Structure 1
Amino acid sequence: MAAVPTLTDALLTLENRVATLTLNRHDLRNALTGSNLIEDIVTTAEWVNQCTDVSVLLITGAGSAFSAGGNIRDMANRSGDFAGDVAECADRYRKGIQRIPLALQNVEVPIIAAVNGPAIGAGFDLANMADIRIASENAKFGETFLNLGIIPGDGGAWFMQRLIGYQRAFELTLTGRVIDAAEAKVLGIVLEVVPAGELLDAASAMASRIASQPPKATRLTKRLMKMAPRMELEDFLDVCANFQGMCHNEPEHLEAVNKMLETMAKKK
């Protein structure tokens, strides 16, 4: 099994092709700024793409919160990531929190967010960067930037409207209201809502089901899913044809076909 990188403010494990990243700054409610979580998330994303032993990345939070987003005390003090004039602050965003959406958008394997508690501001956006979200009944979601007189500087406005449509994303962003897990499911933000004690089991079951699929075809399928919205159908079908040719020439394809034939034979 491939070596797992050592992180500073998060925990990373790999078991049965599922990498689990746990944000581990409960003292900061897993705030992404004012901690080393940005670096930890980017390091994990880069490692996942290089590690052929990983088929799914599962992200969750330790403690009561998934992530509180930005460190409000640093905002109040104009320190850390929020210090300096316009140019300096913008540069910190580019070199800091904006590395997360770029890194996660390029992750080659499916990403599941197990939202254990409040996902607020950039924490909400982090959850929306995943492919699937499963929420605890304790989860809450809020695009609360305007409540603090700032905008979603980490790309949240880009992700949310692609997830639930412009009008609803506009309403949540411009009102800054916080919604519970039940409403998040109705809006299509989360796939499932489960009791708090069952969250990791439910997310791990989903991750294990995906991780059981042929790994190379899984990565190619995610690439197709990401490419589809920005391509014309004819161009997209050309890519599909080439990817399919690659799949037909992979040993995992023949293994999967033979396994299916064996299953069919047993049912006769």
Structure 2
Amino acid sequence: MNEPVLYEFDGGVATITLNRPETRNALTEMEVVDALVASLERAQADLSVRAIVLTGAGPAFSSGGNIKHMRDEVGTFGGNPAQIRENYRRGIQRIPRAFHELDVPCIAAVNGPAHGAGCDLALMCDIRIAAQSALFAESFAKVGIIPGDGGAWLLPRVIGLSRAAEMIFTGTPIDAQCAFEWGLVSRVVPDAQLLPAAQELAQRIASNPPNVLRMSKRLIREGQRMDLPSLLELSAAFQGIAHRTADHREAIAATFEKRAPNYTGE
């Protein structure tokens, strides 16, 4: 069987690819969870990684839960209610926790259907670009379950409460254009241009100082739960660090010398 997740690194950008097209990149097998979490932790630990592109192999981004396993009540879906609770906590819920600890800017390149936990996976990323063939569905109700991996927290923060409720309560998919209009994705591109567009954006992000990128992302994340005075205090502390980096001095020098900066992460 192929590797569940592929990890490639080039020019400051890590490309993480869900690599189980035979299951439409389902997320609930433990080996997929382990591999995806390990890839995120690898990127977090490597200070040369300045941006991440996350995508799926084959025609789907991710189908979310493995519906065959649901039918057979195995894997994540095996055992009594208490055991299923633990399966979720020790399994797929490790993915949103890993994303929450990730300071590297992350782009979801949604190459096809993103259903259930697959939709939530896209929401865990900072930026979402959709191929024209992409579909997004909070499809849990259609299989008689609830969002179990954080979708009820993520989706309202991205598209607002009313539209999130519509998606969750109906389970009806929305296409890429609707996702764009609702603010779920920042742009829609032809299928063949998806990865080039995501990589180009990732490279533009990666051209900036890596420590500034990570601190900026942390400010955005913390700002979702802090009041303004608390965020201002954290911003001041981060700014004190940023002002005394070699990359800050390089940025100022490059501006005055009218040349491209060369950032080292120092």
- Is TM more than 0.5 here? yes
Task: Please state how far the C-alpha of 1:229 moved relative to its aligned partner.
Answer: 2.1
Does 240-249 or 229-238 show the bigger shift?
A: 229-238
Query: Which residue is equivalent to 1:4?
Result: none
Query: Which residue is equivalent to 1:248?
Result: 243
Query: Which residue is equivalent to 1:153?
Result: 148
Counterpart residue type for residue 213 of structure 1 = N
The unaligned stretches of length 5 or more in structure 1 are 1-6
Query: Which residue is equivalent to 1:80?
Result: 75
Counterpart residue type for residue 178 of structure 1 = P
Query: Which residue is equivalent to 2:162?
Result: 167
Of residues 37, 45, 56, the one that matches 1:42 is 37
Query: Which residue is equivalent to 2:227?
Result: 232
TM-score scaled to structure 1, two decimals? Answer: 0.94
CA deviation string 1:202-254 (max 9, x = no partner):
00011000000011111111111111121121121111111111001110100
Contact kept in structure 2, 1:11 and 1:21, CA below 8 Å: yes
Does 67-76 or 34-43 show the bigger shift?
A: 34-43
Q: Is 1:142 the counterpart of 2:137 in the alignment?
A: yes
Contact kept in structure 2, 1:108 and 1:222, CA below 8 Å: yes
Task: Please state how far the C-alpha of 1:84 moved relative to its aligned partner.
Answer: 0.4
Partner Cα distance (2:131, 2:205) in 1: 20
Q: Is 1:262 the counterpart of 2:225 in the alignment?
A: no
CA deviation string 1:34-81 (max 9, x = no partner):
362211111011111110110111100010000000000000011111
Number of aligned residue pairs: 258
Task: Please state how far the C-alpha of 1:170 moved relative to its aligned partner.
Answer: 0.5
Counterpart residue type for residue 107 of structure 2 = I
Counterpart residue type for residue 25 of structure 1 = R
Q: Is 1:28 the counterpart of 2:19 in the alignment?
A: no
Partner Cα distance (2:92, 2:242) in 1: 36
TM-score scaled to structure 2, two decimals? Answer: 0.95
Task: Please state how far the C-alpha of 1:8 moved relative to its aligned partner.
Answer: 3.2
Partner Cα distance (1:97, 1:43) in 2: 13
Counterpart residue type for residue 238 of structure 2 = F
Query: Which residue is equivalent to 1:128?
Result: 123
Partner Cα distance (1:35, 1:87) in 2: 18
Partner Cα distance (1:155, 1:35) in 2: 18
Partner Cα distance (1:115, 1:186) in 2: 16
Aligned identity (percent) is 47
Contact kept in structure 2, 1:33 and 1:71, CA below 8 Å: yes
Contact kept in structure 2, 1:9 and 1:35, CA below 8 Å: no
Of residues 100, 105, 124, the one that matches 2:100 is 105
- Aligned CA RMSD, in angstroms, stands at 1.1
Counterpart residue type for residue 22 of structure 2 = D
Partner Cα distance (2:207, 2:238) in 1: 20
The unaligned stretches of length 5 or more in structure 2 are 260-266
Query: Which residue is equivalent to 1:3?
Result: none
Partner Cα distance (2:177, 2:228) in 1: 35
Structure 1's consecutive aligned runs of 4 or more residues displaced over 4 angstroms after TM superposition are: none
Query: Which residue is equivalent to 2:172?
Result: 177
Partner Cα distance (2:224, 2:149) in 1: 21
Residue aligned with 2:224, SS? helix
User: 5 Å matches for 1:43-62?
Assistant: 43-62=38-57
